[in-house]
Amino acid sequence: MNISANGLDLITRWEGLKLTRYICPAGKPTIGVGHVILPSENIPNTITREFAMELLKKDVERFEKAVNTLIIVELNQNQFDALVCFIFNTGEGGLKNTGVSKAVNSKNFAAVPAALRLWNKIKVNGVSQENKGLTNRRISEAELFMKPVESIVATGSAPALTFVRFTPDLLKNIQTKLQSIGLYTIKIDGLFGPSTKRAIETFAQNNKINYVVDSKQGIRTDILDIINKIS
């Protein structure tokens, strides 16, 4: 899995965004969303928000990989985003044989918020103390982890639209339905690829709907409802 725009926004909210180069507490040149500038990087002293997001997407790849490796159960997009945000702050150690990973991997999802909130301390003069900022961050990550994916909406001038994340079973159903009307012509495999994307978009266009499929966001429920009516 990969983090969504919603997850990147959460990281940005807690890490902060600075478009001008600065020196972090560790004495390293930094910019964007906590991006440490390497000697080999030719990054100007001032950047745009768009460039900062590109840097963040690159930086977050390491943490996406960690969640994909250390978590052995299927996650929805909100759960994945929350865990990536969590270890972006704590490092991969936040998921290596910890209460968080044990709760997730045992599918005891109700225990995850409490496990996350234990990671809210910093050392002051060698003594571990609660940090209010970390407490609030853990609460927001826990809230996202427990939030159903179906509640995520895309806003615009039109009424709010809901999305359902792609799963292998959902994709097989979509591929089967679209194959029956000649829009999907290869093997039904439950994987999201160019043929599936093209078939869904063609189906939407045939139904007078201008729609571009986003594999990370999932499929719009109104499009899915029409597909499911195919007999």
The residues assigned a catalytic role are 15, 24
**What's the sign of the alpha-carbon dihedral 172, 176, 182, 185?**
positive
Beta bridge partners of residue 220, listed in sequence order: 163
Residue reference for tokens 């439950």:
190
Residue reference for tokens 């590109």:
54
Alpha carbons 83 and 142: distance in angstroms, whole number:
9
Q: How far is CA 30 from CA 11, 21, 33, 145, in A?
A: 16, 6, 8, 29
DSSP string, 48-66: -HHHHHHHHHHHHHHHHHH
Contact 202, 183 (CB under 8 A): yes
Alpha carbons 164 and 173: distance in angstroms, whole number:
13
Contact 134, 153 (CB under 8 A): no
